[in-house]
Structure 1
Amino acid sequence: MTSKSNDQIVGQELKLKKKKVLDEVIPSTKIKSGTDSTANEQIDLRPQFGATNSADVRLRIFGPNREEYDGNPLRLHSQTLQTSDFFKALLSERWSSNIRPFEIEVTTDQSFENYLKCIEMMYSSTSSLRFSNVDECLAILSVASELLVDKLMQQCMRYLEAVRWNSEEESKIRNLLSSLSLSVLPDLNARLNKQNNNYLEFVRENIKAMLYFLSSCDCADKKQPIIRGAVGKFMVENLQEDESSGIAEMCRHIILEEFKANIEIAVTSNTEKNAADEEHSYFALLWPFTLIERCDGTTMEDALKILCEEMKLAHIIMQPQKHYTASRYTKVMLPILLGCLDALANGKIIAERKLRVGFLTIWLPVMARLLCPNLYFNHISDNDVLKTQLCRGVSNVVETLPFADWRGIYNIWIDCCAKYSIDLRIPFASGCKVLHEHK
């Protein structure tokens, strides 16, 4: 009897020790249901803000379609929430109530993750607020502006003003700030204010200086491609800016100005320089055109107008030339002219009838002559590919012209093909098609 009683006592002691060990390893947290004081012991996986036992607000968050956040309700503190004018207004409606804790529901279009981050930052001191990148800061700024947390909005703008942006991030910053009713910090506003005349003038002067350096440095200078790449990247990126900033129009104007100036240099210096200098001046003409091709159709159309105004250059190219001069024309002018022809053919350039006719009248004979085998091309396969490109481009453009204009261009086309050994099948096929349509 005594032995059995001792065994029971030992067993009970072991159970108590086991329970004590488990309690130490897995501490239980009490979660209250409503105002019920009865507690079910289980692990609380919801995010914790401050001391849970002193929380006097229960916040339930819902998405735009009333989808509920899994961690509802959040246990928060009215003293902290009152740093938000939004929550302060909600709480003021409940002060007269004797029910504690306060029950609040909010519906938001923001992601739950960003909403919680914003609440977490409301519990932090201003000096400890940190953002991992611009995107996170913008996400928090969007929530903070919705909740009207002034200290957090100020800190977000201070961060944005102080860190580097790329062009995509700058666009996001501009779009968000323009969509929010915020008083933007002066320093951030100054950084974003690219309409400032001093800023535009500074950019203009620096681009001009870089272009002058490129036009004056030696062709063999190994630094030239690096500098051209940097300048070109800057200008093309800024051409995609919002037109209201003024930078896009300024870069567009500078590129076209450079293109026109280089054509004039090529015309006036044709007989005044040695072969190396001539090659340098003509490659200086090709570079701005490669930028123009990356711009919109309006810029391409303006480049086409410049070419049609420069009949002297076309006349020079059609004259008998030394081999190195003919080679230079072919390497530089042919890509420019075929680029314009392709842009007309595929609709990138929406040019008036007069401009289309003028371009073909002036430059079709030049393109045909530059494709003449004894000028530059030693490989007939390359030559044939470009001749086909020329003929198909001309065919597509002449089909946009009235019959009276088409007939004049067609005669020039046939004459060029016969004179420079270009396959007549494409022009004849195009002619038959047009004649069939007009019979």
Structure 2
Amino acid sequence: MQRSPTLKKRQRINTASSSVNATIDPGFNHRDTTAAVSSSLPRRNSFLSPIPGGFNDASTADVLLRLFLEDSDASSSTEDLSDEVQVYLHSSVLCKAKYFSTLLSDRWCKDDRNTVKKMNLGVSHSTGSMRSHLIVLQLLYADDLCAEIVSVSYAVSILHVAVKLLFEDCVKQCLRFLEAVPWNEEEEELIVNLMPILSEDESNELLARVISSRSDSCEQMLHNLLISAKQNHPNVAPVKAFVARLLREFSSRESARRVLENAFMMSLKVVKGSLEEYSSPDFRGDHNETEAIQRLNLHTALTNGKHLMWIVERMIELRVADVAVKEWSEQASFAADLQRAFQDDAWRNIVPGLPTVVLKCTSKLASAVVSGSILVSRQVRMKLVKDWLPVLIVCKDNASPVLPSHKHALHSPMSLYLELEETFLRIISTLPMDDAQELLQQCLSFSTRDSEDCPHLITAFNTWFRRATRPPLPTHLS
């Protein structure tokens, strides 16, 4: 083969490169990349048009390559190509691919140098379409592969063929492009399916985008999101709403359960610790320092209490609050600290909303038990009422006066008290008669001067008396 001057050769290669560019459409986003690339290419007549001095130029070529389909699956209605295609190529260009370089070496090729060498290349469905093979053959003539590979679907479609032909420069450029650009979900699946044909070094960067090195990465991410939602962001409500949606849509309910349970225990520990220090202070220094520490303890309890309530809401929403209910029922010392704190007047001016936050947590967990969305044992139900009923009574007795116009407001403290009273009474109705009798006697503070204002209490006692006066059931002999 006669060599052309360097300038002329570069000009011809650039011409071939322009031809390849014409086949690229970066806008394709199809699941079937064979069809996608085929539909983006010119029809047969223009696709195989010879480039002077370059691709498919019979007058200067020294290799005639026959491509043929090895199986019927490799054919496609969008190919618009025969099952067999012949294309004229140049050995000096083909040697860029090690597959052809080996075939053209002196060891395997004994033909006369002045004759056109004839070669065959099978095309199978597993290694790409006929058109994908022809694209890669065209890319052998490209001067700048970086300029040719401009879409994910295009890179995926030719990567199979480039690997097959050991066209390393093309493989590297495809991988470099795929690693650097975003993928949609469909493209990601196509790229993951490519991994088996790539070496470990070639696939490392791509795999790092789709496979985490940590087995607990999802739970760690959710944990960090919950912590972020807890922080005092300027717009904390939208952040919490976003995290709540992620939790709802997360695929593993058990992972969400573990993360929420861990967050619940952490927040509860902080709230309990703050109230314990406030109720049993052991301070040194002047009065001003003591008061400052007490204020800090109360504010810490309120801030973490609000987050605890949000965690409880998420657990109930996902129906994973059984551990939270059980833990809440075992807080006798915490409930005692709350009673002591709420019997003082200091909290009124520092954290007036703290009782509401604590009782809302109690109310939400108790309501989940009553509704049956969270099933717990009789012992847990009894302890839940026994420990938290005194807190409700103290909050109600020491609450700020409620104006008549706000007495039945939807979000007023009185509304919360009545809701929790009714919930406790309904839980008591699920307990054995002796346990119910003990707890009902502690609920007399639910009564008012007007019995019409406490129908829930009337119903609870009437239910107990009705059951207490029921005639014994007949015994059945075994």
Give the TM-score of the pair, scaled to structure 2.
Answer: 0.51
1:317 match: 338
Structure 1 contact 338–390 (Cα < 8 Å) conserved: yes
**Cα distance in 2, alignment partners of residues 173 and 263 from structure 1:** 50
* Structure 2 match to 1:128: 149
Do structure 1's residue 294 and structure 2's residue 314 form an aligned pair? yes
The one-character-per-residue Cα deviations of 1:178-205 (angstroms, maximum 9, x if unpaired) are: 9969538322333444462796898699
Q: Is 1:261 the counterpart of 2:270 in the alignment?
A: yes
CA shift in 2, pair 1:291/1:51, >3 Å? same
Letter in 2 for 1:318: Q
1:386 paired residue number: 416
For the residues of structure 1 that align with 2:132 and 2:308, how far apart are their CA atoms?
Answer: 52
The within-5 A match list for 1:95-244 is 127-131=148-152, 162=180, 183=196, 185-194=203-212, 196=214, 214=231, 224-226=233-235, 230=239, 233=242, 237=246, 241-243=250-252
AA of the residue aligned to 2:81 = L
Whether 1:282 aligns to 2:301 is yes
Aligned to 2:356: 331
Per the TM alignment, residue 360 of structure 1 is displaced from its structure 2 partner at its CA by 0.7
Aligned to 2:3: none
CA contact (8 A) 2:330 2:384 kept: no
Is the Cα–Cα contact under 8 Å of residues 161 and 188 in structure 1 kept in the other structure? yes
Alignment deviations for residues 46-101 of structure 1 (CA, whole Å, 9 cap, x no partner): 957433346999x999xxxxxxxxx967513656993742677xx9xxxxxxxxxx
Q: What is the Cα deviation at residue 287 of structure 1?
A: 1.3
1:321 partner letter:
D
For residue 428 of structure 1, report the CA deviation from its aligned partner. Answer: 1.9
> Match of 1:428?
458
Cα deviation for residue 369 of structure 1 reads 3.2
428, 435, 450: which one pairs with 1:405?
Answer: 435
Q: Over aligned residue pairs, what C-alpha RMSD do you find?
A: 5.4
Q: 1:355 corresponds to which residue?
A: 380
- Counterpart CA distance in 1 for 2:80 and 2:253 is 47
Q: Are 1:236 and 1:294, in contact at CA under 8 Å, matched by a contact in 2?
A: no
Aligned to 2:301, the other structure's residue is in SS state helix
What percentage of residue pairs aligned between the two structures are identical?
A: 15
**Alignment check: 8 A CA contact 1:259 1:289 kept:** no
| Candidates 306, 330, 333, aligned match of 2:327 | 306
In structure 2, how many angstroms separate the alpha carbons of the residues matched to 1:338 and 1:82? Answer: 69
Of structures 1 and 2, the one with the larger relative CO (CA 8 A, separation 6+) is 2
Q: Separation in 1 of the partners of 2:447 and 2:174?
A: 67
Residues 415, 241 of structure 1: CA spacing in aligned structure 2 closer, same or farther, 3 A cutoff?
Answer: same
* Residues 396 and 417, structure 2, Cα contact 8 Å, conserved in 1: yes
**In the aligned structure 1, how far is the partner of 2:174 from the partner of 2:436?**
63
The SS at the match of 1:75 is: coil
Tell whether the 8 Å contact from 2:309 to 2:360 is kept in structure 1 after alignment: no
Conserved? CA contact 1:50–1:123, under 8 Å: no
Query: Do residues 51 (structure 1) and 43 (structure 2) align?
Result: yes
Q: 1:258·1:288 contact (CA, 8 Å) conserved in 2?
A: yes
Counterpart CA distance in 2 for 1:121 and 1:431 is 85
In the alignment, is the contact (CA less than 8 A) between 1:292 and 1:300 conserved in 2?
Answer: yes
Q: Alignment partner of 2:324: what SS?
A: helix
User: Aligned letter for 1:301?
Assistant: D
SS for the counterpart of 2:430 is: coil
CA shift, 1:421, in A, is 9.8
Letter of the structure 2 residue corresponding to residue 388 of structure 1: L
Gaps of 5+ in 2: 1-37, 49-66, 86-120, 140-144, 165-170, 282-289, 471-478
1:81 touches 1:122 (CA, 8 Å); kept in 2? Answer: no
Q: CA–CA distance in 2 between the matches of 1:49 and 1:178?
A: 22
Aligned partner of residue 372 in structure 2, secondary structure:
coil
Instruction: Label 1:279 to 1:181 Cα distance change in 2 as closer, same or farther (>3 A).
Output: same
Taking a change above 3 Å as real, the CA distance of residues 340 and 325 of structure 1, as seen in their structure-2 partners, is: farther
Relative distance call for 1:121 and 1:387 in structure 2 (3 A) is farther
Cα 1:392/1:318, change in 2 over 3 Å: same
Are the equivalent residues in 2 in contact too, given 1:298–1:349 (CA < 8 A)?
yes
Q: 1:129 Cα deviation (Å)?
A: 4.2
Cα distance in 2 for residues equivalent to 1:123 and 1:159: 17
Deviation at 1:426, TM superposition (A): 0.8
1:23-38 equivalence runs, <5 A? none
Q: Residue 9 of structure 1 corresponds to which residue in structure 2?
A: none
Secondary structure at 1:400 match in 2: coil
Gaps of 5+ in 1: 1-45, 62-70, 92-118, 132-136, 215-222
Change (3 A) 1:244 1:157: farther
Matched, 1:75 2:66: no
SS for the counterpart of 1:196 is coil
Instruction: Measure, in 2, the Cα distance between the counterparts of 1:313 and 1:365.
Output: 12
Shift of 1:321: 1.4
Partner of 1:26: none
Return closer, same or farther for 1:298/1:340 CA change in 2, 3 Å cut-off.
same
Query: Which stretch shifts more, 199-208 or 263-272?
Result: 199-208
Q: Aligned partner of 1:130: which letter? A: S
> Is contact 1:238-1:247 (8 Å) kept?
yes
- How many Å separate the matches in 1 of 2:373 and 2:450? 29
Q: Which amino acid aligns with 1:344?
A: V
Distance in 2 of aligned mates of 1:155 and 1:209: 41
Amino acid at match of 1:287: H
